[in-house]
Structure 1
Amino acid sequence: MTSTIEAPRSPYTRSAKKRGLNWEKWGWIYMRVSGVVLIVLIFGHLFVNLMVGEGVSALNFAFVAGKLASPFWQTWDVLMLWLALIHGGNGMRTLVNDYATSRISRGILKGAILLSVVALIVLGTLVVYTFDACPAGSPADLLPALCSTL
């Protein structure tokens, strides 16, 4: 009993003479490196938020405001945000390349992924670096209780 395995479907053809940057190789390397760095960042984030101090019961607006006031934690959170979003976007791009059959649908889906990743990175970075728990000129009754102690 013999069976023939069909050649895998590949949407791209690669010329032997093509020179330049191998984006697939660098995307593969990025996924491995960012995955390891993300493990350290995520578990550090979880350890500090859930284990240090009073644990989960200490998580409130004041805790987050205090963390986001520190340049160290701002950098930590932004690095985690950027790596996670680019890592996830690259993974989604790989899925689109594997399963989208037409060139047009592949382009539209990859464009949507790029747009959403860029938008989330910009918005998330702005939130981290411009967060102010006690904005000047706000009505006192709308401000959190921690603002009256500052």
Structure 2
Amino acid sequence: MDRVSSVPAPSPGGPPPPGRRQRLRARWADRHALPRFSYWLVSRGVAVLVMCGALYVLNGCLIGWANAYDVMTGITSPSTVRSQWCAWPLSLTGWAAIPAIIGAAAGYLITEQIQAHHAREMSDVLHELRRLAEQPASPPQSGEGS
């Protein structure tokens, strides 16, 4: 007796499920739908932070981690360490780039909060205030006498 499987084979009619690479590509393409701050952080902020981190790691390996921190925060002058060629860019990064990144992030977040609270037009708000300020009509009287 031959046993023939009664389960039909899947039809080749549909596209295959997306792979990991296609899903990542679709997510990267959807980054434009993010809010402004999130988009900036994903598109530009990560690159700047990676460059700052790489510069810090390079200086940490060459001049020591404590010296790299002191140079980046402005405690120590880059001219007093032994590898000045990489300490000066770290000093400038700590002096200008890091505060600019923090200021940009704070500016984006504050702007988003302000715009969220300014969603209504002034004329709509005034119209609603005028409507609320009107004297309510007296209620209709029910029956005469008790």
- Band of TM-score, shorter chain: 0.3 to 0.5
State the TM-score, normalized to the length of structure 1. 0.34
TM-score by length of 2: 0.35
Structure with larger Rg: 2
